[in-house]
Amino acid sequence: MQALRRCFHIYGARESCGQGICGTCTVIVNGRAVSGCLYLAVLADGTEVVTVEGLSAGGRLHPVQEAFISCSAFQCGFCTPGMILMSTQLLEENPDPTDQQIRHYLSGNLCRCGAYPEILQAVKTAAQTLASRKQGKEIPSQQGGGISI
Amino acid sequence: MPRQAGRSLRRLESHAKVTGTVEYVHNLELPGMLHGKIFRSTVPHARLARVDVAAARTAPGVEQVITGQDVLSIIPDPYYGPAFHDQPILALEKVRFAGEPVAIVLAADPYVAQAALDLIEVEYEELPAVYDEVEAAQDGAPLVHEKLRPGSMFADLIHVRPRSGSNVHVDYRVRRGDVEEAFRASDRVFEDTFHTPAVAAAPLEPLVTVAEPGGSRPLTIHSATQNPSFVRGELARLLGWPENRVRVRTAFLGGGFGGKQYIKLEALAATSTLLAQRPVKISLTMDEQFVTITRHASTIRMKTGVSADGRILARECEIWWNGGAYADIGPRVTQKAGFTSAGPYDIDNVSIDSYAVYTNLPPAGALRGFGVPQVNWAHETQADRIARELGMDPLEFRLKNLLRNGRPQASGTILQDSGTEEVTREVASEMRWPEPLDRGTDTARRGRGVALAIKAGVTPTTSVAIVTLAGDGSCTVYAGTVDVGQGSQTVLAQIAAEGLALGAEEVRVIHPDTDATPYDMGSVGSRSTFHMGLAIQGATEQISRQLIEMAAPVLGADVAELELYDGSVVARGRGDAEISFRELMATRFGKNTGTLVGSGSFTASYDTPDADTGQSDDVAVFWMVGAVGAEVTVDTETGKVTVQRLVNVADVGKAINPLLVSTQLSGGALLQFGYAMSEEMHFDEGQLVNSGLAQYKIPTMLDMPKSVEVVLVEVPHRNGPLGAKGMGETGTLAVSAAIGNAVFDALGVQVKELPLTPERVLRAIRAGAGRPLED
């Protein structure tokens, strides 16, 4: 995380507890979420690191980011990048999670403002958006020649 | 143009928050900046015999090491604080709590500064210490402060009476009627002692301040503070400078909850930068934040006399607030929570004694509710005991004694524009009270509870706002309100937009910067929408008047016919007579030039309470009232409480942004949910043994109640902007007692101490069954 801040000047990953408990420093290294505050930069050498800044590459928000806005799933916003990255990973692993699965998966990301009910809603909303987009892609391709994605 | 008030607009900074690009002081780096790391006392109470920083000073990479003696070279009287000037920037003759700053090491690399702390040697001559608030209040207890240093910054605290020769530094009282006589006339008298522990605000952005030296420029402080204007005044006072040589600015805050109120790191950062003549950043760790400020532990004795038919005839409250080593805003907590400690009830005979007590623990301050969550735990828990013992329904008991509009509160101030009755009826309806509840099984018992809340909006305080219209017709609001996460920038934009018939998205609200934004008392005590909202309304009225006066000759219309609509001035009933703000500005100043300026201010009224009786005609700018309902399941074998439903009903006056109001209420409820269920700072001989989030359990998403519900009640306030009143704390106040009462309902035994941990609940179950657990 210090390397991201000092060398790359990106500030989405933030140190809060400094103990790998709160999840505000979450970044994704080779497809797995890690606590940036405990993850040595040397270990990331040669890996692909995705931060919240990378989610909206090309200027278009990721559906999880859009859902966090539409559901007002944050107050101060300090935990938000970590929450969003973790939610993204959840939906990649499990595109249709239950409430309990969302609660469990995100229990390593703390929100002191107490936006948990809205975050839960945002993850479900994003899951719907992603599902409908996937369907949207499948339908034309099936019509065009039966290629499924 | 749709109305701006009442719109559930998403936070205007939403995009920046979800992309991680939003500005926090936490992220600020300046060229040549040093990092400050603090050496903290390892003992709770001692004379400083020797502070040896020689080895640290010569360590490679260390620029400077500053001690209390060094501070004296630029600030001869280095004691700060909002209520008392009692806290030294760095410890001088003695240390008063374990964790108190003794020295600071400055280095370009924070890890170098941190490592050099190990080279500092301090010799302590330990003194007897006192930790418990009731023990500390007794005669003969070790004195934390030999001399009291009252301050004078806030009008509502001028009349607090400091006491010398005791750790009780404020002794606040209310006397109404004759409690002794009323106790004699009562059929039943109930007396209980309640306790709440110290807890942490723990905003996820820990306290942080960056200071830049002055010289020919002003001293600049970038700080995650809820009170930029206060910080400026306090630094100017310490330095003996005029306020205009100190600049304090903030960005968005990563949470606050009261933990960033008044002055925290700013005096140390200012001293460091002035001595080093380089920018200095002090960024606390989460662990350090825990010993910087806490919420008061409290002991509350409550004695209540009732008639056989359930009317409260008399109530006596005695409250000891564990203020820790420095007063911080404890005197206001003592007073504000003191005078509503008898609850939202209509009681003719009330006696309240509320004591602010110094101890050798970290300082305590305001944390979402200014002490009211603590006193609420007492009066609402006792309410259920009284109702049960009288064989009354707890809701009926509350309705029977409810304080209603037009009746005097314990302070003598008349309740007005308050939905005490509405919130009570609403919570009953939401909880389907008193329909029967499924009682669960023998080992999974179910119960439900309600609790009511009242808190007075702090008065007298002031907000001043400036609103400008640029040559292109765009609007900027200069307000000192700090957006700690509540969404004030959005709501203030809505208020300004409503006044100028613009869309709120077009209005820019700038962050507090005392070089540009006028005075505001601070983002505390749920005051911003009300006070700053009124100030902004005053400013937009001035601009609106100027625009209409400018437009009248241009449109050939009378000013009385003109109004603002969608960025233009229009004549009513004349579709063709219309001119946009931009064109109007051009007629006055020339194309794309000029500025229209409006300013407004609001200072709430106040009647200083009588020093002996606490009686006052005007002690609340508005009243915050709410009601909470809870349904729980208790595992009788483990004592674990699971909250199934948490229903929060709040009178918000008028929801200017219903979405933000609702989320702020549920967020406040979940903060207090942590204090109700798991959070407790443990001290062993003055040493905090569970600092940081590894050992101090704050709620996760997995812990939150199965259902969190919010109901808004709108009883308009006659003076509020568009009828609004403060509500930032309302959702917090009664949560603990509602859950506790649900546990009582489930088990038939009462717990009088927070939090409701499985151990505490299991002990109560076993004690109630005559089989107490061994200690």
Using a CB-CB distance cutoff of 8 angstroms, which residues of chain A are in contact with residue B698?
Answer: 110, 112
Structure confidence at residue A59 (pLDDT):
85
> According to the 3-state scheme, what is the secondary structure of B338-349?
HHCCCCCECCCE
CB contact under 8 A, B19 and A120: no
Regarding whether B298 and B286 lie in a shared domain, the answer is no
* The pLDDT value given to residue A28: 96
Name residues 65-94 of chain A within 8 A of B (Cβ): 65, 68-70, 72, 74-81, 84
What CATH number does the domain containing B264 carry? 3.90.1170.50
Which residues, other chains included, contact B561 with Cβ-Cβ below 8 Å and sequence gap of 6+? Answer: B571, B572, B573, B574
Query: Which residue of chain A comes nearest to B207, CA vs CA?
Result: A16
Chain A residues close to B709, C-beta within 8 Å: none
Token pair for B443: 């080992």
Inspect the interface and report whether the beta carbons of A69 and B254 lie closer than 8 Å.
no
Domain that includes residue B334, residue range: 294-458+609-768
Find chain A residues with C-beta within 8 A of B486's C-beta: 75
User: Is B170 domain-assigned?
Assistant: no
Asked if A69 and B664 come within 8 Å (Cβ–Cβ), the reply is no
Distance from CA of A44 to the nearest CA of B (A): 21
Sites in chain B below the pLDDT cut of 50: none
Q: Is B344 exposed, middle or buried (0-12, 13-18, 19+ CB in 10 A)?
A: buried
For residues B302 and B293, give the distance between their C-alpha atoms in angstroms, rounded to a whole number. 27
Measure the CA–CA gap between B607 and A86, rounded to whole angstroms. Answer: 53
In angstroms, what separates the C-alpha of B202 from chain A's closest C-alpha? 8
Q: Which candidate in A70, A116, A118, A123 is best for mutational testing of the B interface (most B CBs within 10 A)?
A: A116
Residues B264 and B284: their CA atoms lie apart, in Å, by 11
Q: Which of B290, B324, B359 is the C-terminal boundary of a domain?
A: B290
- Let me know how long chain B is: 775
Which among B18, B24, B693 has the least Cβ separation from residue A69? B18
List of chain B residues whose C-beta atoms are within 8 Å of the C-beta of residue A38: none
pLDDT digits (tens, 9 = 90+) for A15-48: 999 999 999 999 999 999 999 999 999 999 999 9
B486 and B350 share one domain: no
Q: Min CA distance, A113 vs chain B (Å)? A: 5
User: Is residue A144 scored above 60 in pLDDT?
Assistant: no
Interface of B with A in 653-712 (CB under 8 A): 659-660, 663-664, 666-671, 673, 692-694, 698-704, 708
What's the gap in Å between the CA of A125 and the closest CA on chain B?
15
Residues of A in contact with B484 (CB under 8 A): 76
Task: Examine the domain organization and report whether B98 and B239 are in the same domain.
Answer: yes
Q: Identify the band that residue A143 occupies on the pLDDT scale cut at 50, 70 and 90.
A: very low
Q: Is residue B9 part of a domain?
A: no
* Residue B198 contacts A, CB cutoff 8 Å: no
Q: Which residues of A touch B27 (CB under 8 A)?
A: 5, 11, 14
* Closest Cα in chain B, distance from residue A80 (Å): 6
Q: Check CB contact under 8 Å for B20 and A11.
A: yes
Q: In which band, very low, low, confident or very high, does the pLDDT at A148 lie, cut at 50, 70 and 90?
A: very low
| Burial of A85 from C-beta contacts in 10 A (0-12 / 13-18 / 19+) | buried
A18: chain B residues, CB-CB within 8 Å: 285-287, 692
- Could you say which of A104, A108, A110 has the minimum Cβ distance to residue B204? A110
Cβ separation A52–B13 shorter than 8 A: no
CATH of the domain at B493: 3.30.365.10
Cβ pair B255:A74 closer than 8 A: no
In DSSP terms, which residues pair with A12 in a beta bridge? Answer: none
CB pairs under 8 A between A and B: 165
DSSP SS3 for B416: coil
CA distance linking residue A111 with residue A108, whole number of Å: 10
pLDDT digits (tens, 9 = 90+) for A84-126: 999 999 999 999 999 999 999 999 999 999 999 999 999 999 9
Given B603, B627, B653, the domain boundary residue is B603
* Residue A141's pLDDT band (cuts 50, 70, 90): very low
Same domain, B241 and B313: no
Residue A128 touches chain B, beta carbons under 8 Å: no
Of the candidates B24, B286, B699, the beta carbon closest to that of A18 is on: B286
Q: Which residue has the higher pLDDT, B185 or A8?
A: B185
pLDDT at A109: 98
Contact assignment for B252 to A77 by CB distance below 8 Å: yes
Q: Is there a single domain that holds both residue B412 and residue B299?
A: yes
pLDDT of amino acid B1:
61
Same domain, B313 and B214: no
> Would you say domain A2-138 falls under CATH 3.20.20.100?
no
Final residue before a domain boundary, out of B225, B256, B290? B290
| B645 and B755, same domain (yes or no) | yes
Number of domains in chain B: 3
pLDDT at position B159: 57
User: In sequence order, what are the residues at sequence separation of 6 or more whose Cβ sits closer than 8 angstroms to the Cβ of residue B172?
Assistant: B160, B161, B331, B334, B335, B338, B339, B352, B353, B354, B355, B356, B614
Both tokens assigned to B428: 């009953």
Contacts of B165 (CB under 8 A, 6+ apart): B143
Give the global pTM.
Answer: 0.96
pLDDT for B160: 63
A13–B contact, CB cutoff 8 A = yes
Contact yes or no for A113 and B485 at CB 8 A? yes
Residues of chain B in contact with residue A107, where contact means CB-CB under 8 angstroms, are 700-703
| B713 and B728 part of one domain | yes
Please state the domain extents for chain A. 2-138
Of B11, B224, B205, B16, nearest to A52 (Cα)? B16
